[in-house]
């Protein structure tokens, strides 16, 4: 299999402009769940850049459980992301929800995110594989590791070697305390079986802002190649996932803690 360590002993390093994902560097992707306005996204980019993170996330097409919830700004959101990326130099990542939308998202965004709910949307995986862009593949909430790796195989087998894996939590026993169960054991398991970079998303993995920092640090200790973390200039006003978004202060503090923790490892 193309994802396996037998196929490739060297760690895959995905390079986007000056940013390197995998191969021993630790990368942080920060930004809001949804792009809400130019003002909100510029403020988010400032949080990310000032804290030393290098990749800016934002959702323009949102996979919401309810059709009545905010669905994202669509192409307008992508344009905002492109403009803010041009202004700040930050690399961008955003979700694409269907195969036919791949060219549109690829026109504005550096890294294509495949959401957890889409992990087995095979036509989408194939189109993303043909896009020429790095693909950030989130583990499905109910997907075993082998199915996660087979989903990555769909992208790789299109001739696209730039696949980044993301553990974002799996179906929990109940949702009283956390939104999902962050499977941190998946990190050393994946690092053993595949050469692809492994990123952890403790925001969706817990669903609770105050649990994000401890799990982010745990992910670094577990050997992850980086983190995806939701931030918001004003979480209370967020149009999606406000309860798990870190404020500017909390995100800045976490980034400082991660830097000192990295010094111990
Ligand atoms: C997101 O990143 O905002 C998102 C919807 O994540 P997931 O697909 O992991 O639920
Ligand atoms: Mn979200």
pLDDT of residue 156: 98
pLDDT digits (tens, 9 = 90+) for 131-164: 999 999 999 999 999 999 999 999 999 999 999 9
Q: Which two tokens stand for residue 207?
A: 């669903």
Q: Is residue 207 part of a domain?
A: yes
pTM: 0.98
Residue 191, SS3? helix
pLDDT of residue 94: 98
Q: Is residue 85 part of a domain?
A: yes
Domain CATH code at residue 246: 3.20.20.70
Q: What percent of the chain has pLDDT over 90?
A: 100
Specify the residue for token string 């344009």.
79
Per-residue burial over 235-260, b if 16 or more Cβ lie within 10 Å, else e, is: beebbbbbebbbbbebbbebbeebee
171 CA to middle of ligand 1, Å?
14
Residue 1, SS3? coil
Q: Is residue 212 part of a domain?
A: yes
Rounded mean pLDDT, 12-37: 97
pLDDT of residue 254: 98
Is the distance from CB of 165 to CB of 153 less than 8 angstroms? no
Ligand 1 neighbours, Cβ below 6 Å, are 33, 59, 63, 115-117, 138, 168, 204
pLDDT of residue 119: 98
- Total count of domains within the chain: 1
Neighbours of 132 (CB within 10 A): 12
Q: Is residue 174 part of a domain?
A: yes
Q: Is residue 56 part of a domain?
A: no
Q: Which domain holds residue 33?
A: 14-48+72-264
Ligand 1 atom having least distance to the Cα of 57: 2
Q: Is residue 194 part of a domain?
A: yes
CA gap 150, 183 in Å, rounded:
18
Q: Is residue 54 part of a domain?
A: no
The mean predicted confidence, pLDDT, of the chain is 98
pLDDT digits (tens, 9 = 90+) for 162-221: 999 999 999 999 999 999 999 999 999 999 999 999 999 999 999 999 999 999 999 999
pLDDT digits (tens, 9 = 90+) for 79-131: 999 999 999 999 999 999 999 999 999 999 999 999 999 999 999 999 999 99
pLDDT of residue 145: 98
């Amino acid at each position: 299999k193309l994802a396996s360590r037998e196929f490739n002993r060297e760690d895959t390093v995905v390079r986007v402009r000056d940013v390197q994902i995998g191969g021993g560097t630790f990368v942080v992707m920060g930004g809001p769940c949804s792009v809400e306005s130019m003002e909100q996204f510029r403020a988010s980019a400032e949080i990310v850049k000032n804290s030393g993170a290098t990749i800016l996330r934002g959702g323009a097409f949102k996979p919401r459980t309810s059709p009545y919830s905010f669905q994202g700004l669509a192409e307008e959101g992508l344009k905002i992301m492109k403009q803010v990326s041009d202004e700040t130099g930050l690399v961008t990542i955003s979700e694409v929800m269907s195969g036919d939308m791949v060219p549109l998202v690829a026109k504005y965004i550096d890294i294509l995110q495949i959401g957890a709910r889409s992990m087995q949307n095979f036509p989408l995986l194939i189109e993303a594989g043909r896009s020429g862009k790095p693909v950030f593949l989130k583990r499905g909430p109910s997907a075993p590791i082998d199915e996660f790796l087979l989903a990555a195989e769909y992208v790789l087998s299109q001739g696209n070697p730039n696949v980044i894996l993301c553990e974002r939590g799996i179906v929990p026993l109940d949702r009283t305390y956390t939104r999902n169960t962050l499977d941190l054991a998946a990190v050393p398991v994946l690092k053993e079986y595949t050469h692809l970079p492994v990123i952890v998303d403790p925001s969706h993995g817990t669903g609770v802002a105050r649990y994000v920092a401890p799990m982010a640090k745990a992910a670094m200790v577990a050997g992850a190649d980086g983190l995806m973390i939701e931030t918001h200039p004003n979480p209370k006003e967020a149009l999606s996932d406000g309860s798990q978004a870190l404020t500017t202060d909390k995100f800045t503090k976490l980034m400082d803690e991660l830097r000192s923790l990295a010094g111990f490892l």
